[in-house]
Amino acid sequence: MPNPSNTAPGSGFIDLHSHTNESDGTLTPFELIKLARQSGLDALAITDHDTLNGYEMARPEALRAGLDLVCGIELNTRMGDDRPHSRSVHLLAYFVSGPPSEAFRKWLEGERQERRMRNERLAARLQSQGIEITVEEVEARGRSLAGRPHFARILIEKGYAHSFEEAFRKFLGEDAPSFVPRQSRTAAEVIGIVRDTGGIPVIAHPVRLELDRAEERTLLHQYRDAGLLGLEIYHSEHPPALQAHYRQLAEELSLMPTGGSDFHGSIKPDIQLGTGMNGNVRVPAAFLQRLRAAV
Ligand code: AMP
Ligand code: FE
Ligand code: FE
Ligand code: ZN
């Protein structure tokens, strides 16, 4: 298992998926840049959920540390209108030739507003089950935004659940009775919105689509026709056999390969920046060069 602290700078490795405490990670943007440097990464993309604040706050330190920092974001979308359960699809967007437009930022503010409304409904639904939790309490935990991981921490602290896994299974996850879906747009729509502002849309952790091979191919084909440009090959939840599968699929569909650990800090202690879970993530710098060459 590669030890990140033994990797020399200029290693040729990068990480294109990470979170700060501006969304649901636990490290500050400053601390994340420090860790990326210590881990010997040549480049890092900050891909917080629904906010660019972490990226913007990290910029001065990245410049100082000589780290190639990429502006990114992770957006919540749904599969489409034609599926009974309209499952959630996480879409990464990379802005490799500069941060996105004012219009896109306004759109993001709307997304955050929708998230706040979901949080209110979720708190109300939990209260109706006799759970003592308020939306104010949850929002106080998030910096730029609060989400279900912040709900989970409070549920654990108050003894309603013993672990994140239990909090999601019993209260917050898609199969829990108190689950509240977000009013998200389809992945195809959001792919268009990202392309319009000059971003590179990429499907995050495709393993979580939970589709069989034929359905997966059909869906990705449809997204590619909608403007999708990349597929996340390396991810902490992708064992080597799946990485090989997604690499081949990306090639067949002419999607650019990307990869990252999806580092969140101490709330996901098994995931290391740059190297993922048990060293299963190693993203070559050439992946970023390809993204840059595409714009
Ligand atoms: P939200 O964006 O507020 O709906 O929260 C989504 C986040 O919750 C994801 O990015 C994950 O970090 C976390 N999450 C979702 N499902 C689970 C789960 N079953 N167990 C643990 N964490 C989860
Ligand atoms: Fe997250
Ligand atoms: Fe995700
Ligand atoms: Zn993520």
SS (H, E, C) 43-93: EEEECCECCCHHHHHHHHHHHHHCCEEEEEEEEEEECCCCCCCCCEEEEEE
Q: b/e string for 250-280 if b means 16 or more Cβ within 10 A?
A: beeeebbbbbbbbbbbebbeebbbbbbbeeb
CA-closest candidate to residue 108, choices 44, 193, 225, 177: 193
Calpha distance 242→160 (Å, rounded): 35
Place of tokens 């590669």: 2
Q: Which of 26, 125, 172 to mutate to test ligand 1, by most ligand atoms within 8 A of the CB atom? A: 172
Ligand 1 close to Cβ of residue 164 (< 6 A): yes
CA-closest candidate to residue 274, choices 66, 64, 67, 122: 67
How many angstroms is it from 90 CA to the middle of ligand 3?
5
Q: Which residue CA neighbors atom 5 of ligand 1 most closely? A: 148
- The pair of structure tokens assigned to 90 is 């996480």
How many angstroms is it from 4 CA to the middle of ligand 3?
23
Count CB-CB contacts under 10 A for residue 248: 11
Helix axes 148-157, 102-128, angle to 10 degrees: 30
Q: Identity (one letter) of the amino acid at 222?
A: Q
pLDDT of residue 85: 59
- Which atom number of ligand 1 is nearest to the Cα of residue 49? 2
Calpha distance 20→53 (Å, rounded): 9
Tell me, yes or no, if the pTM score tops 0.85.
Answer: yes
How many angstroms is it from 153 CA to the middle of ligand 2?
13
pLDDT of residue 84: 56
pLDDT of residue 135: 95
Ligand 1 close to Cβ of residue 49 (< 6 A): yes
Count CB-CB contacts under 10 A for residue 123: 22
- Which atom number of ligand 1 is nearest to the Cα of residue 115? 3
Place of tokens 């699809």: 89
Residues of the chain with pLDDT under 70: 1-9, 82-85
How many angstroms is it from 172 CA to the middle of ligand 1?
8
Q: Which ligand is nearest to the CA of 50?
A: 1
Q: Which ligand is nearest to the CA of 23?
A: 2
Backbone angles phi, psi at 27, to 5 degrees: -85, 145
Count CB-CB contacts under 10 A for residue 110: 10
How many angstroms is it from 235 CA to the middle of ligand 4?
10
- Which atom number of ligand 1 is nearest to the Cα of residue 90? 10
